[in-house]
């Protein structure tokens, strides 16, 4: 995989993750019961099994894709010249993407902090990484790409795990089979593309 191919696959991976999060994760024949990635985390909190704490992965993991995507973009720009406008435009994009996980104002006002604080902290992490990119650029690039490998793994596995953990409760509610929507598969695919690029770069770069 040459540099041009790596850049193309990296860009494609980022695009697929974002597109997947804006597409249907939980399909249903009724449009009102179909939920995209932005919505599903908010909807599942009303499931009795989730409210009772019977489902192991927390619903906050549904908000992970924009966080992992923001972190990946911010880290990717860490080696770019700080004086170029494009550098800070991309870092701003990283933060903007992460804001897709921002809780609603009503949730912050009326719900306990346990329902939204973790998401705010994760968004804050993206902001910190984006602002600290000029310092991060001094690190060995292998460390940065190894970090991207871990983030891509988390972004691929954790939201998918959460969906399949919640699915039995949704099946019980709908009394019908529930299949993963295209968003679930696109999210996993996008993260796997970035994972493949990062692993390839780590393999070819000297220690």
The reported pTM is 0.91
Q: Which two tokens stand for residue 161?
A: 């795990």
pLDDT at 50 (0 to 100): 86
In sequence order, the 6+-apart residues with CB closer than 8 A to the CB of 28 are 34, 174, 178
How large is the average pLDDT for residues 154-158? Answer: 96
Tell me how far apart the alpha carbons of residues 51 and 34 are, in angstroms, rounded to a whole number. Answer: 20
Using alpha carbons, select from 88, 80, 85, 81 the residue that is nearest to residue 127. Answer: 88
Q: Is the pLDDT of residue 102 over 50?
A: yes
pLDDT at 96 (0 to 100): 96
Residue 207 banded pLDDT, cuts 50, 70, 90? very low
Tell me how far apart the alpha carbons of residues 154 and 175 are, in angstroms, rounded to a whole number. Answer: 31
Which helix (H) or strand (E) covers residue 35, if one does? strand 35-36
pLDDT at 139 (0 to 100): 72
Least confident of 9-18, 131-140, 142-151: 131-140
Q: Is the pLDDT of residue 20 over 60?
A: yes
**DSSP label of 26:** E
Biggest CA pair distance of the chain: 57
pLDDT digits (tens, 9 = 90+) for 39-62: 999 898 888 888 888 888 888 999
pLDDT at 28 (0 to 100): 83
Q: Is the pLDDT of residue 136 over 60?
A: yes
Q: Is the pLDDT of residue 89 over 80?
A: yes
pLDDT at 142 (0 to 100): 86
Q: What is the DSSP string of 120-188?
A: HHHHHHHHHHHHTHHHHTTS-HHHHHHHHHHHHHHHHHHHHHHHHHHHHHHHHHHTS-----HHHHHHH
Residue 80 banded pLDDT, cuts 50, 70, 90? confident
Q: Measured between alpha carbons, how far is residue 137 from residues 77, 127, 203, 206 in Å? A: 8, 16, 20, 17
More confident residue, 1 or 84: 84
How large is the average pLDDT for residues 110-134? Answer: 91
pLDDT at 66 (0 to 100): 97
């Amino acid at each position: 995989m040459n540099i041009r191919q790596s850049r193309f696959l990296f860009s494609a991976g980022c695009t697929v993750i974002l597109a997947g999060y804006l597409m249907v994760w939980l399909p249903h024949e009724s449009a009102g019961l179909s939920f995209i990635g932005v919505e599903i985390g908010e909807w599942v909190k009303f499931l009795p099994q989730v409210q009772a704490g019977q489902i192991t992965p927390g619903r906050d993991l549904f908000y992970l894709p924009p966080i992992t995507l923001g972190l990946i973009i911010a880290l990717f720009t860490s080696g770019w010249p700080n004086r170029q406008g494009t550098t800070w435009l991309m870092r701003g994009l990283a933060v903007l993407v992460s804001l897709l996980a921002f809780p609603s104002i009503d949730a912050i006002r009326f719900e306990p902090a346990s329902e939204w604080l973790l998401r705010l902290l994760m968004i804050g992490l993206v902001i910190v990484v984006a602002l600290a990119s000029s310092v991060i650029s001094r690190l060995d690039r292998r460390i940065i790409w190894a970090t991207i490998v871990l983030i891509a793994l988390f972004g691929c596995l954790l939201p998918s795990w959460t969906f399949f953990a919640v699915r039995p409760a949704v099946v019980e509610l709908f009394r019908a089979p529930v299949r993963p929507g295209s968003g679930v598969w696109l999210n996993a695919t996008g993260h796997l593309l970035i994972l493949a690029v990062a692993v390839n770069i780590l393999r070819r770069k000297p220690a």
